[in-house]
Structure 1
Amino acid sequence: MRLGIDVGGTNTDAVLIDGNRVLAATKAPTSPDVTTGIVTAIAGLKQAAEFDPAAVAAVMIGTTHFINALVEGDRLAPTAAIRFGLPATSALPPLVDWPDRLRTAIGEHSHLCHGGHEYDGSRIADFDEREFRAVLERAVEAGARSFALSSVFSPVNAEFEQRAAEIIAEELPGRPISLSHEIGRMGLLGRENATVINAALRELAEHVAAGLTRTVAEAGISAPLFLSQNDGTLMDVDYARRYPVATFASGPTNSMRGAAFLSRQADCAVMDVGGTTTDVGILQNGFPREASTDVSVAGVQTNFRMPDVLSVGIGGGSHVTHEGGPRVGPKSVGSRLTERALVFGGDQLTATDLAVAAGLADIGDRDRVAHLGKDLVRAGLDHIAERMAEVVDRMRISPDPVPVVAVGGGSILVPDRLAGASRVDRPEHYAVANAIGAAIAEVGGEVDRVFSVQPGRRDAVLDEARQEAVDRTVAAGARPGSVRVVDIEEVPLAYLPGNATRVRVKAVGELSLGDSLGELGDNDA
């Protein structure tokens, strides 16, 4: 059995899965400290289904701890951003595009050193150890406790980042170190920004990992703990301690993977409607389509793995106003739905009230919304449908209608017919698809670097990249026989010599726990 938990802005959902069967599911309000909500959800799951904690093979959690800390600019460690690139790159130093509040929050420690590489691995300048040690000394004196190291074209040659990390480990044993070639993709500023964010969250990651481990243990569960990543795959607790930035978009990806599992559809649009927002993404071969451009996180441009998701401020707790016509959202009562919504005795008209008044849901006290006019209810729900259809239309890349799978507790707001959708499915257990996505997640590995593809060598280069992705997936904990390549992309870089081609390969495999989850469907990749 597997225990899946997903922490959302409004609710914390938990499910217990045995193979491909959902044994029990529960919801609990998300608490300010997140951990309390997880404790409550696990307790609710025990009430819903008596199970032996010793029979749980693994616990998978999707958490908002880290993205919340960045958005709030809170609990971030003073971080030294050190780049190897001089005499190049000085025009745009580290942190140049950061919001002032976040620069201040991490201490504004920005440093440049000589070094870096060209795309073919040749050096821009030699590593100057004396220069680096002087920079390190200044950073420590200024209060830096965590270190983010980046170097020009380090995904091609990471020797400068690795040498600098060795020196920090010698001089400052135990200090957190983040290396850009392990975190971001091609593109210096986006990769560097992702690395600085990761470094700033390392101290918090230690506390969160310890807290989650303790929470699961106190529930009597001794199974290994995993956290969900941005691409819908898993990482263990130790990996999460080193790469907390990899959890940022775990909520939407969990919902999309859960939708694929429940609907048996590997290619579709997924509409996840929560209490505050509606998130729409596209599934390709059962996995979320990844963003092809840099993604802004809390006002910082990054280029690490993130799903291509579009959000709109409409959810079950969204405020409904009717001055000059009904408007829904973006304000929301959030986790206070059961206190503020009319059907629960509150004073705020919400989207949930409209759904209950229209007979789409049977929660709370329907008599409390009996006074709402039919025209108001219909117009409000039409407004919601129009906004949702607009988001789906913006996400599809073909003029052809796409199937839509609606999940999340607020998906009662999604109409059975939606413009731009060939059909709308709302599968069983749709309300906890996010927790199901966490529970059934697989292990992933990725290669993203520039190859010199000589004439007649293309197939050999692609085979090399595929094998490297498979090896990384197995090293991450996948069962060797289950690993498969789910995405491969090659982009010729015409402006560079030597037939330079950027190759990205993603592979996934089942977590090596000795159990089987069943298939996603006939079209499963």
Structure 2
Amino acid sequence: MRIGIDVGGTHTDAIVMDGDRVVATVKCLTTEDVTTGIVAALRVLREQSEVDPKDVRAVMIGTTHFINALVEANRLAPTAALRFGLPATAALPPMVDWPDSLVTAVGGRSYLCHGGVEFDGQDIADLDEDEIRRAAHDMLSHGVRSVAVSSVFSPVSAEHELRAAELLAAEAPELDVSLSHEIGRLGLLQRENATIINAALREMAAQIVDGLAAAVHGAGITAPLYLSQNDGTLMEVDYARRYPVATFASGPTNSMRGAAFLSGLTDCAVVDVGGTTTDVGVLRHGFPREAATEVVVAGVRTNFRMPDVLSIGLGGGSLVHGTGAADVAVGPDSVGYRLTDRALVFGGDTLTATDIAVAAGILDIGERGRVRHLAKDFVAAVLADIETKVARTVDRMRSSRERPPVVVVGGGGILVPDTLEGAGTVHRTEHFAVANAIGAAIAQVGGEVDRIYPIEPGRREAVLDAAKQEAVDRAVAGGADPGRVRIVDIDEIPIAYLPGNATRVRVKAVGDLVLGTDSTDGVA
């Protein structure tokens, strides 16, 4: 038995699975502090399923804690950025493109030091260790508690970042240290931004993970706890403490993985309609297609691993604007988790997309009599507006002329019609409303290698084999069954401006999580 939980903007969904069979599902309103909603979902799940907590072998959670903290600029640790690049890079200091409010929230201290490498791996300047020591003491004197270390072209050579981490540990062991080569990709500012975000969340990550563990253990479950990553795989709680940014966009990712499981399709478009937004992504070989360009998070440009998802302000809680069929518009504003208080069918005073669905007869919740006054042509116009917005979003996500099959999931999926212009067959499966929680429950363990290799003539296959084996080893180290690990993605990108036939090789391996026969505590 395993439990999957996914926290959305409106609902917190939870399911119990026994192998590939869904035993029970629940959908509870998300609470402001998130954790309380998880506790409530676990309580209802236990009441409905009557599953003995001792039979649960693992709990997987996809949470919005960390992305919410960043967007709200709340509970972020005083953070410094330590960059190695002088005498280059001084023209654009760290956080130069950040919103002022977010810079203020993290403290906004930055230090430029000598070091870094050129694109060919040659040093820009020697590392000045005394410079690093002075920066460390200055950070402590200004109350900094977390530091993001970045170096020019650290994906080519991480030597300076690793040495800086050693010096910081010696001079200021109380500082949390995040290294950019472990988080982002080529592109200094974007990689540095992602690392600063990660560093600012590190302190809160430990508290959140402990809180989630307490919620799970409070339900009598002593099984290991895992968090969903933004690539559709799982991470252990210790990894989550170090890399909280890896949880960003795990909600849409869980929905897409759940859609693949429920529909049996591995290459398709997925439309996930929640209470606040509709997220559209693309599955490739059963996993979300990754964004090929930079991703903007809370107004900050980053380049860490994220799914290619397009979101629009459309969901079951979206407000319906307009007074007649000619001027209707749905969203982007939403009542969110206050749906059961504010929607007309629940006795509220706000017209929402859920009210329209009830008035149209495609949904039966609340009191239908409260929406009988809505004109039929007005209701039809609203549904047409929803169909148009979804169809256009799916069309924007296409990468070829072929019309992709579409899998509709999410509690608001009932709003999507059975046919969409420009798309293939629309699939709506059993349990589609809780596909996100199912995606969390069935998530596998991943291992990824993303590195620049010099490929000598005749050595290509040997280099690829070594990269594949390293990816497999990382998946096994994360808890995957060694006999069930497979390579799901390989990318080779020759880099013309680097010497020695340099090629960026990215390999991703995934495998099923090994579930022990006895439950153990997932938090040390």
Q: Displacement, 1:388? A: 0.2
Deviates more, 1:146-155 or 1:51-60: 146-155
Relative to the length of structure 2, the TM-score reads 0.97
Correspondence 1:62-141 to 2 at 5 A: 62-141=62-141
Deviations 1:467-497 (A, max 9, x none): 1211111122211111111111111112332
The whole-number CA distance in structure 1 between the counterparts of 2:123 and 2:497 is: 19
Correspondence 1:97-246 to 2 at 5 A: 97-246=97-246
SS of 1:482's partner is strand
Q: Displacement, 1:120? A: 3.7
Deviations 1:154-181 (A, max 9, x none): 2222121111111221222242111111
The answer to whether the aligner puts 1:392 opposite 2:394 as a matched pair is yes
Q: Displacement, 1:339? A: 1.2
Q: Displacement, 1:514? A: 4.9
User: Is contact 2:280-2:309 (8 Å) kept?
Assistant: yes
The answer to whether the aligner puts 1:305 opposite 2:292 as a matched pair is no
User: Is contact 2:64-2:248 (8 Å) kept?
Assistant: yes
User: Is contact 2:136-2:172 (8 Å) kept?
Assistant: no
The answer to whether the aligner puts 1:418 opposite 2:395 as a matched pair is no
The whole-number CA distance in structure 2 between the counterparts of 1:432 and 1:26 is: 8
Deviations 1:440-481 (A, max 9, x none): 001111111211122222222211211121111112221111
With over 3 angstroms needed to count, the CA separation of the structure-2 counterparts of 1:174 and 1:18, relative to structure 1, is: farther
The whole-number CA distance in structure 1 between the counterparts of 2:13 and 2:382 is: 28
User: Is contact 1:186-1:449 (8 Å) kept?
Assistant: no
Q: Which residue of 2 aligns with 1:26?
A: 26
Q: Which residue of 2 aligns with 1:353?
A: 355
The whole-number CA distance in structure 2 between the counterparts of 1:502 and 1:492 is: 6
Q: Displacement, 1:498? A: 2.0
Deviates more, 1:332-341 or 1:433-442: 332-341
Q: Which residue of 2 aligns with 1:337?
A: 339
Q: Which residue of 1 aligns with 2:405?
A: 403
| Percent identity of paired positions between Structure 1 and Structure 2 | 69
- Output the amino acid matched with 2:378: L
Deviations 1:386-416 (A, max 9, x none): 0000000000111111100000000000000
- Which of residues 447, 451, 454 in structure 2 aligns to 1:452? 454
User: Is contact 2:452-2:505 (8 Å) kept?
Assistant: yes
Q: Displacement, 1:358? A: 1.1
SS of 2:391's partner is helix
The whole-number CA distance in structure 1 between the counterparts of 2:237 and 2:431 is: 28
User: Is contact 1:119-1:450 (8 Å) kept?
Assistant: no
The answer to whether the aligner puts 1:463 opposite 2:472 as a matched pair is no
- Output the amino acid matched with 1:302: T
- Output the amino acid matched with 1:238: D
Deviates more, 1:307-316 or 1:454-463: 454-463
Correspondence 1:509-524 to 2 at 5 A: 509-514=511-516
Deviates more, 1:104-113 or 1:379-388: 104-113
The whole-number CA distance in structure 1 between the counterparts of 2:96 and 2:372 is: 55
Q: Which residue of 2 aligns with 1:252?
A: 252
The whole-number CA distance in structure 2 between the counterparts of 1:202 and 1:168 is: 16
SS of 2:412's partner is helix
The whole-number CA distance in structure 2 between the counterparts of 1:450 and 1:225 is: 34
Deviations 1:196-243 (A, max 9, x none): 100000110011011011111110000000000010100011111111
Q: Which residue of 1 aligns with 2:505?
A: 503
Deviations 1:353-380 (A, max 9, x none): 1111111111111121111111001110
Q: Which residue of 2 aligns with 1:520?
A: none
- Output the amino acid matched with 1:468: E
Deviations 1:85-117 (A, max 9, x none): 112222222111111111111111111111112
User: Is contact 1:288-1:308 (8 Å) kept?
Assistant: yes
Deviates more, 1:476-485 or 1:432-441: 476-485
User: Is contact 1:10-1:276 (8 Å) kept?
Assistant: yes
The whole-number CA distance in structure 1 between the counterparts of 2:102 and 2:470 is: 36
The whole-number CA distance in structure 1 between the counterparts of 2:174 and 2:477 is: 24
User: Is contact 1:119-1:156 (8 Å) kept?
Assistant: yes
The whole-number CA distance in structure 1 between the counterparts of 2:116 and 2:482 is: 36
Deviates more, 1:184-193 or 1:111-120: 111-120
Structure 1 unaligned blocks of 5 or more:
516-525
Number of residue pairs matched by the alignment: 515
User: Is contact 2:317-2:354 (8 Å) kept?
Assistant: yes
The whole-number CA distance in structure 2 between the counterparts of 1:174 and 1:133 is: 14
Q: Displacement, 1:300? A: 0.6
The whole-number CA distance in structure 2 between the counterparts of 1:178 and 1:440 is: 30
Relative to the length of structure 1, the TM-score reads 0.96
Deviates more, 1:156-165 or 1:50-59: 156-165
- Which of residues 411, 415, 439 in structure 1 aligns to 2:441? 439
- Output the amino acid matched with 2:411: G
Q: Which residue of 2 aligns with 1:373?
A: 375
The whole-number CA distance in structure 2 between the counterparts of 1:343 and 1:489 is: 51
With over 3 angstroms needed to count, the CA separation of the structure-2 counterparts of 1:125 and 1:190, relative to structure 1, is: same
User: Is contact 2:481-2:513 (8 Å) kept?
Assistant: yes
The whole-number CA distance in structure 2 between the counterparts of 1:108 and 1:147 is: 11
User: Is contact 1:27-1:44 (8 Å) kept?
Assistant: no
- Output the amino acid matched with 1:451: Y
- Output the amino acid matched with 1:496: L
- Output the amino acid matched with 1:70: L
Deviates more, 1:352-361 or 1:12-21: 352-361
SS of 2:465's partner is helix
SS of 1:402's partner is coil
SS of 1:60's partner is strand
The whole-number CA distance in structure 1 between the counterparts of 2:152 and 2:34 is: 38
- Output the amino acid matched with 1:421: A
- Output the amino acid matched with 1:65: H
- Output the amino acid matched with 2:335: V
The whole-number CA distance in structure 1 between the counterparts of 2:379 and 2:421 is: 20
Runs of 4+ in 1 over 3 A off after TM superposition: none
User: Is contact 1:60-1:226 (8 Å) kept?
Assistant: yes
- Output the amino acid matched with 1:425: H
User: Is contact 1:7-1:251 (8 Å) kept?
Assistant: yes
The whole-number CA distance in structure 2 between the counterparts of 1:505 and 1:119 is: 22
Deviations 1:282-316 (A, max 9, x none): 00000000000010000111111100000110100
Q: Which residue of 2 aligns with 1:275?
A: 275
The whole-number CA distance in structure 2 between the counterparts of 1:145 and 1:514 is: 37
What is the RMSD of the two structures over their aligned residues, measured on CA atoms?
A: 1.1
